[in-house]
Amino acid sequence: MSHSSAWITLEETYYAQTVRRQPVVLVRGQGCRVWDADGKEYLDLVAGWAVNNLGHCHPVVTHAIAEQADTLVQTSNQFYTTPQLLLAQLLVEHSCLQRVFFGNSGAEANEGALKLARKYGRQQRGGAYEVITAYNSFHGRTMATLAATGQPHYQEAFVPLQPGFVHVPYNNVEAIMQTTTDKTVAVMLEPVQGEGGVNIPDDDYLQRVRAWCDAQGLLLILDEIQTGMGRLGSLFGYQEYGVEPDVMTLAKGLGYGVPIGAFLAKEACMALAPGDHGSTFGGNALTTAAAYAGTKYLIEHDIPAHVKRMEQHLLAHLRVLQERFAFVTGVRGKGLLAAMEFDGDLASRVLTHANAAGVLLNAVRPNTVRFMPPLTITAEEIDEAVNRLEVALTHIE
């Protein structure tokens, strides 16, 4: 029995069976590569679900973690801590928002943003509370973010859902206009839908939504949990589309591997006051030290510009595979968030062969695989990953 299968048996015996895992037990990572319990090496194009933006164990991040672990890990937010404030300052100075709150995950970041919208509606819009979100969106797994998520298959087992959400087709401004009522307080969107299948809107979609929100006095909340921190080729996705959100949520890539989330708001929209919101671990010295070190590096080394260059490289190579394999029906992407679509539900078979060939991917839809590598991936590593994917695809023909 391999080392990996022993671990898989342990998981089957003890772990809550809520996740359909790939039969790969990862024990080590460095840059864009990871190794399993049997010593096999893989190129990691999942990157902890678009989290490891500087790759695995980047020295800047590991040093920050080690140093902070040796200094101060957790206090309560009753007291000030310094890494939290340095990170808040860095995010504000490089974004269009002025106030930051740190939590521990994406869902928590969105929960905070939704609470802010509730209070804003109460104070500024006569008790309006409804939030318009899009079909195929993904905003998290907590009760409010599940209700916000526009994918019924995630929701069905958990009804009744929290009220206050209406869903409209993505990339359709008219649908938002028709759905707006005097109960509406906010529109919440991903700049590119990630988990919904890498759905890229028209260039002017967010600008038109912004104009509608301005005309109606609605908050525009952008969920940048997947698109932020360089993923689309700008530090924040909204910069790609020439708009400014009133509220933005971050998580995933903000932590470079450590669990952290944040919501940011314009000063005029920051309706939350002392006592309205809090978190025991949120903004913890350890996680914010890692996030600060990683974000400083990301900005100082202009990793988003590298992402733009690698976008062309990755998409060009994936399109070559599309020409070679008739069952590949589409390739799309923005920055280093890309997808390959098939003419049938082949994604799980592709993953099996990709694992064997040494490249890790995500099956984002039954007929679509998603690519979200570390943002530091090199052209040579992309070439190598695409070669391995090509080997995998030859098994599907």
Ligand X SMILES: Cc1ncc(COP(=O)(O)O)c(C=O)c1O
Give the nearer residue to ligand X in terms of CB position, either 87 or 146.
146
Q: Which two tokens stand for residue 219?
A: 């908050």
* Residues sharing a CB contact under 8 Å with residue 258, sequence separation 6 or more, in sequence order: 61, 65, 286, 287, 290, 291
138 is catalytic: yes
**Total of residues contacting ligand X (CB under 6 A):** 15
* Whether 261 contacts 105, CB under 8 Å: yes
Q: Are 148 and 188 in contact (CB under 8 A)?
A: yes
Residues 6+ apart with CB under 8 A from 92: 98, 99, 100, 264
In whole angstroms, the minimum distance from the beta carbon of 167 to ligand X comes to 15
Which residue is closest to ligand X by CB? 106
* Contact string (CB under 6 A) for ligand X, positions 285-304, x = contact: --------------------
Q: Of residues 56, 58, 139, 210, which one binds ligand X by CB under 6 A?
A: 139
Decide: is 284 part of the binding site for ligand X (CB under 6 A).
no
Distance of alpha carbon 96 from alpha carbon 216, whole angstroms: 21
Is residue 38 flagged as an active site residue? no
How many CB atoms within 10 Å of residue 366? 11
- Residue 253, interface with ligand X (CB under 6 A)? no
| Shortest distance in whole angstroms from residue 188 CB to ligand X | 10
CB of 49 to ligand X, least distance (A): 6
Binding residues for ligand X restricted to 140-199, rule: CB under 6 A: 140, 190, 194-195
Closest contact distance (angstroms) between CB of 249 and ligand X is 7
CA angle 250, 252, 256 (to 5 degrees): 115
Among 129, 138, 170, 236, binds ligand X (CB under 6 A): 138
Residue number with CB closer to ligand X (134 or 357): 134
**Distance of closest approach, residue 386 Cβ to ligand X, in angstroms:** 24
- 165 classed as catalytic: no
Smallest distance, ligand X to C-beta of residue 193, A: 8
Cβ nearer to ligand X, comparing 54 with 107: 107
**Of residues 223, 236, 263, 371, which has the active-site annotation?**
223
Separation of alpha carbons 78 and 44, rounded Å: 40
Q: Whose Cβ is closer to ligand X: residue 4's or residue 110's?
A: 110
Q: Of 223 and 381, which has the nearer Cβ to ligand X?
A: 223
Min CB(145)–ligand X separation in Å: 7
Burial 314-339 (b: 16+ CB within 10 A, else e): bbebbeeebeebeebeebbbbbbbbb
* DSSP assignment string, 231-295: TTSSSSGGGGTT---SEEEE-GGGTTTS--EEEEE-GGG----TTS---SSTT-HHHHHHHHHHH
Rounded distance between C-alpha atoms, residue 236 and residue 195, angstroms: 18
What is the contact mask toward ligand X in residues 2 to 41, using x (rule: CB under 6 A)?
----------------------------------------
Identify residues 221-250 at the interface with ligand X (CB under 6 A): 223, 225-226
Using the minimum distance from each CB to ligand X, give the nearer residue, 195 or 246.
Answer: 195
Q: Which is nearer to ligand X, 132 or 328 (CB)?
A: 132
247-250 and 337-342: which strand pairing? unpaired
Among the listed residues 36, 44, 119, 138, the single catalytic one is 138
Closest distance of CB 41 from ligand X, Å: 26
Return the residues of window 104-123 that contact ligand X according to CB under 6 A. Answer: 105-107, 110
Residue 245 · residue 218 · CB < 8 Å: no
Distance from the Cα of residue 83 to its chain's centroid: 23
Type of residue numbered 231: R
Q: Are residues 217 and 125 in contact, defined by beta-carbon separation less than 8 angstroms?
A: yes
Q: Does 381 bind ligand X (CB under 6 A)?
A: no
Tokens of 225: 């949990």
Closer CB to ligand X, 4 or 136, in the complex: 136
User: Which residues contact ligand X (rule: CB under 6 A)?
Assistant: 49, 105-107, 110, 138-140, 190, 194-195, 223, 225-226, 251
For the annotated catalytic residues, the residue numbers are 138, 223, 252
